[in-house]
Amino acid sequence: MKLTPTFTKDGTLLTGAAAEPFERAVRVHCPGRSVQAIRDRGEWLRRIVEATLDRDEVVVFKVDLPHEGPGWLQAKAGECHERDVARILESHGLRVVPPVLVVDHSCQIIPAPYIIQARVGGTRLGELLDRVSESDAEAIYETVGRFYRRMHAIHSDRAGVWIGSTPEEPWGDPTGYMYRAEVVEGSGRRALELGRITQGMYDRAVALWGEHLDYLRDFQPSLIHYSAFPWNIYLEPEEGGWRITKLMSLGDVMWWEPAYDLACLQYPPYGDARPAHWRALLRGYGLLPERRRILLYAVMQRFCAAMGAYMEPRTARGRAWAVRCLEDVEGFMDEIGGGRCR
């Protein structure tokens, strides 16, 4: 038996042979519990599957997948990485990782290593903003700012990713890798080939990033989320305010540049942050890196978003955003190239 690599992002119901290995894992690891439904939640470095049990309890399978390409990307894919991230965050008082119920390396039930986690409550940031008052929206963004300030205050001696249980020994060059993989090649190249950007726009982005590589490599390595997207941040109200209940895509966490996360938050893929919301985030976050850094990463992220590199929820509003998202890139590059960034 092998897992069929055809994954969806919309919670497709799995039945029959597709559901059987997950149902069997529940029988083995959660004796006495019954499965009501199995849903495929898609793939980003790992396959995500939700199992609804009796009493409406939901558990989440995260199944390792084989990955080709640079070892630094492969290093982030395993369950050991998420365990390390949880340990680091919890040691700094940040509890945003759902409890791990099972770790199985045997490949006997599901033909790949996997973990099973409890599902923690909360509502996605992007969904919350459609439901709450403006004053609550600003309070939410201030909460988000405080959280990422604390996360980015966790430092390392070196940038990079780690394998297994050695987060103190990261390796790789995320800045150089992402420049090559997503600006020169990858999303940037595909945007050019598909006619989403002009040759001049592509050449300008490549040149700006190339000119700023040494600048971008000069930073204090910090723990960053890397996927600080509105659909990966969950919150719920608490007395007198809001709290972050969990972050998703913790397999992406690495030691890198806080400006990368801040670009996601100021210019969120598949959405918009109102100026008042960004100001509220800054009240929680405090001092920002130079704006030029944020804009350089925003250029890269727009290429990635336009080319479907992110596992975003599929909505009509998101699809409309993806059509127009590259319209801002020339303005970002004008500000970087014109020396008007502060």
Alpha helix ranges (H) inside 159-290: 174-178, 186-193, 199-211, 213-216, 258-266, 275-285
Domain 12-118, what fold? Answer: Phosphorylase Kinase; domain 1 (3.30.200)
Cβ count near 152 (within 10 Å):
21
What's the first-to-final CA gap in the chain, in angstroms?
A: 56
Residue 18 clears pLDDT 80, i.e. is over it:
yes
**How far, in whole angstroms, is CA 205 from its chain's centroid?**
23
Cα dihedral across residues 228, 230, 232, 233: positive or negative: positive
Tokens linked to 77: 């894919």
SS3 106: coil
Residue 73 clears pLDDT 60, i.e. is over it:
no
> Percent of the chain scored above 70 by pLDDT?
90
**Whole-structure pTM value:** 0.83
Q: Which residues of 225-237 are buried (b: 16+ CB within 10 A; e: fewer)?
A: bbbbbbbbbbbee
| Rounded distance between C-alpha atoms, residue 55 and residue 148, angstroms | 35
**How far, in whole angstroms, is CA 207 from its chain's centroid?**
27
Please check whether residue 140 is in contact with residue 278, taking contact to mean a CB–CB distance below 8 angstroms.
Answer: no
Which one-letter DSSP state was computed for residue 16? H
Residue 5 clears pLDDT 50, i.e. is over it:
no
| Rounded distance between C-alpha atoms, residue 246 and residue 244, angstroms | 6
Residue 87 clears pLDDT 60, i.e. is over it:
yes
| Residue pLDDT, tens place only, 102-137 | 888 889 999 988 888 888 789 999 999 989 999 999
Length of the chain in terms of residues written: 342
Residue 304 clears pLDDT 60, i.e. is over it:
yes
pLDDT at 201: 97
| Rounded distance between C-alpha atoms, residue 293 and residue 225, angstroms | 17
Residue 1 clears pLDDT 50, i.e. is over it:
no
CA dihedral 87, 104, 31, 25 (to 10 degrees): 120
Residue 45 clears pLDDT 60, i.e. is over it:
yes
pLDDT at 164: 62
| Rounded distance between C-alpha atoms, residue 135 and residue 244, angstroms | 17
Tokens linked to 230: 């509105």
| Rounded distance between C-alpha atoms, residue 258 and residue 289, angstroms | 8
| Residue pLDDT, tens place only, 153-186 | 999 999 998 866 588 888 889 999 999 999 999 9
| Rounded distance between C-alpha atoms, residue 294 and residue 267, angstroms | 9
| Domain spans in the chain, listed from the N-terminal domain onward | 12-118, 123-337
Question: Which CATH number describes the domain made up of 123-337?
Answer: 3.90.1200.10
SS3 146: helix
